[in-house]
Structure 1
Amino acid sequence: MSVKAGKHARELLLKEYRGALSTLSKAMPGYPFGSVVPYCLDAQGHPLILISRIAQHTHNLHVEPKCSLLVGERGAEDVQAVGRLTVLAQARQLTDDAAIAAAAERYYRYFPESQGYHQAHDFDFWVLEPVRSRFIGGFGAIHWVDQVTLANPFAGEGELSMVEHMNSDHANAIAHYVELAGLPTHAPAQMAGIDSEGFHLRIGQGLHWLPFPTSCNTALEVRQALVVLARAEVWPQAAPASA
Structure 2
Amino acid sequence: MSVRSSQHARQLLLREYRGVLSTQSKAMPGFPFGSVAPFCLDASGRPLILISRIAQHTHNLKADGKCSLLVGERGAQDVQAAGRLTLLAEASPLHGAGEIEAAARRFYRYFPASQDYHLAHDFDFWVLQPVRWRYIGGFGAIHWLDRVELANPFAGNSETSMVEHMNGDHPDAIAHYVRLAGLPDGEPAQMVGIDSEGFHLRIGAALHWLPFAEPCSNPGEVRQALVALARADAWPVSEGPGDE
Instruction: State the TM-score, normalized to the length of structure 2.
Output: 0.96
SS of 2:139's equivalent in the other structure is: coil
Q: Is the 8 A contact 1:212 1:238 kept in 2?
A: no
What RMSD in Å do the two structures reach over aligned CA positions?
1.0
**TM superposition shift of 1:148:** 2.0
For residues 123-174 of structure 1, what are the alpha-carbon distances to aligned partners after superposition, in whole Å with 9 as ceiling and x for unaligned?
A: 0000001000000011111111111242111111110000000001111110
Specify the alignment match of 1:99 in structure 2.
99
Instruction: Write the distance in 2 (CA, Å) between the matches of 1:125 and 1:187.
Output: 29
For residues 64-107 of structure 1, what are the alpha-carbon distances to aligned partners after superposition, in whole Å with 9 as ceiling and x for unaligned?
A: 00000000001112111110000000001001110000000000
The one-letter code of the counterpart of 1:121 is H
Specify the alignment match of 1:55 in structure 2.
55
Instruction: Write the distance in 2 (CA, Å) between the matches of 1:4 and 1:228.
Output: 26
Instruction: Write the distance in 2 (CA, Å) between the matches of 1:138 and 1:232.
Output: 32
Instruction: Write the distance in 2 (CA, Å) between the matches of 1:203 and 1:148.
Output: 28
Specify the alignment match of 1:184 in structure 2.
184
For residues 20-75 of structure 1, what are the alpha-carbon distances to aligned partners after superposition, in whole Å with 9 as ceiling and x for unaligned?
A: 00000000011000000000000001100000000000000000000000000011
Specify the alignment match of 2:89 in structure 1.
89
Instruction: Write the distance in 2 (CA, Å) between the matches of 1:134 and 1:229.
Output: 33
Specify the alignment match of 2:30 in structure 1.
30
Instruction: Write the distance in 2 (CA, Å) between the matches of 1:91 and 1:63.
Output: 11
Instruction: Write the distance in 2 (CA, Å) between the matches of 1:76 and 1:140.
Output: 18
Specify the alignment match of 1:168 in structure 2.
168
Residue 234 of structure 1 pairs with residue 196 of structure 2: no
Residue 64 of structure 1 pairs with residue 58 of structure 2: no
Instruction: Write the distance in 2 (CA, Å) between the matches of 1:77 and 1:132.
Output: 27
Unpaired runs of at least 5, structure 2: 240-244
Number of matched residues? 239
Higher mean alpha-carbon deviation, 141-150 vs 173-182, is at 141-150
Unpaired runs of at least 5, structure 1: none
Runs of 4+ displaced beyond 2 Å? none
Alignment of 1:127-206 (within 5 A): 127-206=127-206
Instruction: Write the distance in 1 (CA, Å) between the matches of 2:232 and 2:91.
Output: 41
Instruction: Write the distance in 2 (CA, Å) between the matches of 1:233 and 1:137.
Output: 30
Give the percent of matched residue pairs that are identical in Structure 1 and Structure 2.
72
**TM superposition shift of 1:108:** 0.2
Q: Is the 8 A contact 1:46 1:149 kept in 2?
A: no
Q: Is the 8 A contact 1:214 1:238 kept in 2?
A: no
